Amino acid sequence: MSDETPQVGRRATLTDVARAAGVSRQTASRVARGGENVNARTAARVRRAIKALGYRPDPIARALSTGRGRIVGLLTHQLTHQRTGLGAVSIMIGVEQAATELGLGVSIATFASFDRGTVQDAVDRLARAGCDGVIFMAPWVSAAKTLRAVEATLPMVATSEVPEYDGLAVHADAAKAAGDVVDHLVSLGHTTVHHVGGPPDWTSSRLRLLGWENALRRTGAEVPEPLIGDWTARSGYEAGLRLADDPSVTAIFAANDEMALGVIYALIERGRHVPEDVSVAGYDDAPGSDYLRPPLTTIKVDDAEHGRQAVAQLILRLNGEPPLPSAVVPHELIIRASTAPHE
């Protein structure tokens, strides 16, 4: 058996197992799936390699490997709406890229409003287009009521958290991510963190606000009254003007990067320096956020992985297999120069 091992910190793959056991990848795959039609001595050698390398099958890859030739329907609200938010666009791109890279066809249907009739019509259109299943974006608080009323003619997977809806969903932990931002700012010595939230009818807005509030309460900090925006830089600017006039404000968390940009613009316009006077953080890691002045501290969610997991969940459903045990997309706090210790 070969003594080659994968790099430290990297998950062992079937290719690593095959190399270590001195067999083809196809043989290693057959043994990993149960050992059908493999010589007993060869199978034993492969199993030893699996144990030595700590190889664990990737359920997402297994699901996707059986999905060739399928057509995925992508159901989304119209992206020209001014309150769409960059995160929604990024998720859509991630879904489309993941499906395309895996050789899956993609058919897109959009809706202008999220009422039962409109959504039902969009689902039916995707079914008539030959789609095997639907990945849909339903970012509003009211989504559960509509989805429960829709007659699902195709398997469906949501790309956002939909409270009170028991269907499959793949989403980031927005509340935890917001809490990570607050913890970072509090660790820098800020006594509290002000919040510029997104539209209250969006689930992600509520979850980010909840994470912000819970993190402040956990640390015993004061919970200021949040200001509400609409995802746009203009709304962030207007909130920033109000916060800039309060000398006690030293840290601000905006629910997305575009509003954070507006906040920073307002602070500078009013003579407050970022981060010397006020630290500012956003959410989304929008393109160009690392080239703001100063570069923006923010939350990054892997949109490609978001799309990949949504596609995988759908294909598992189509194959009659149980869903993945976890459908929470990982996030990362990207610390840049817009946040600094409070003197």
- Kindly list the averaged pLDDT for each block of 10 residues, start to end, along the chain of length 343: 52 85 86 77 90 78 62 80 59 80 83 86 90 88 86 87 85 96 98 97 94 97 97 97 97 97 98 98 94 96 87 86 81 98 90
pLDDT for 154 equals: 87
CA distances (Å), origin 302, targets 91, 100, 264, 293, 307: 9, 17, 25, 24, 9
Q: Do 309 and 164 fall into the same domain?
A: yes
Residue 334 lies in a domain: no
Pair of tokens at residue 277: 């006077």
**Considering the entire predicted model, what is its pTM?**
0.80
Give a yes or no: residue 96 inside a domain. Answer: yes
Inside any domain, residue 220: yes
User: Which pLDDT belongs to residue 82?
Assistant: 46
Residue 47 structural domain: 14-57
Residue 234 lies in a domain: yes
Q: Are the C-beta atoms of 114 and 146 separated by less than 8 Å?
A: yes
Same domain? For 184 and 144 the reply is no
Same domain, 77 and 48: no
Residue 126 lies in a domain: yes
Query: At 236, which CATH number?
Result: 3.40.50.2300
Residue 1 lies in a domain: no
Is there a single domain that holds both residue 242 and residue 272? yes
Q: How many CB atoms lie within 10 A of CB 304?
A: 15
Q: How is residue 112 written in tokens? A: 């202008």
Q: Are residues 198 and 269 in the same domain?
A: yes
| The pLDDT value given to residue 242 | 97
Would you state the structure tokens that stand for residue 86, as one six-digit string? 């960059």
Asked if 179 and 211 count as a contact pair (C-beta separation under 8 A), the reply is yes
Picking from 162, 253, 241, the residue whose alpha carbon sits closest to that of residue 208 is 253
**210/124 same-domain check:** no
Return phi, psi of residue 203, to 5°.
-60, -40
Q: Quick check: is 336 in a domain?
A: no
Helix 14-21 crosses helix 25-32 at what angle (to 10 degrees)? 110
Same domain, 186 and 236: yes
Q: At residue 142, what is the residue type?
A: S
Answer yes or no: is 52 within a domain.
yes
pLDDT at 59: 63
Contacts of 98 (CB under 8 A, 6+ apart): 304, 307, 308, 310, 311
How high is the pLDDT of residue 140?
84
DSSP letters, 174-197, are HHHHHHHHHHHHHHTT-S--EEEE
Residues 280 and 221 in one domain: yes
Whether residues 208 and 249 share a domain: the answer is yes
The answer on 50 and 29 residing in a single domain is yes
Q: How many domains does the chain have?
A: 3
CA-wise closest residue to 104 among 149, 155, 150, 66: 66
Q: Let me know whether 191 and 277 are in one domain.
A: yes
Helices marked H in 66-202? 86-101, 116-128, 143-149, 174-187
- Please state, in angstroms and rounded to a whole number, the distance separating the CA atoms of residues 184 and 340: 10
Same domain, 200 and 290: yes
CATH number at residue 41: 1.10.260.40
pLDDT at residue 81, as a whole number: 46
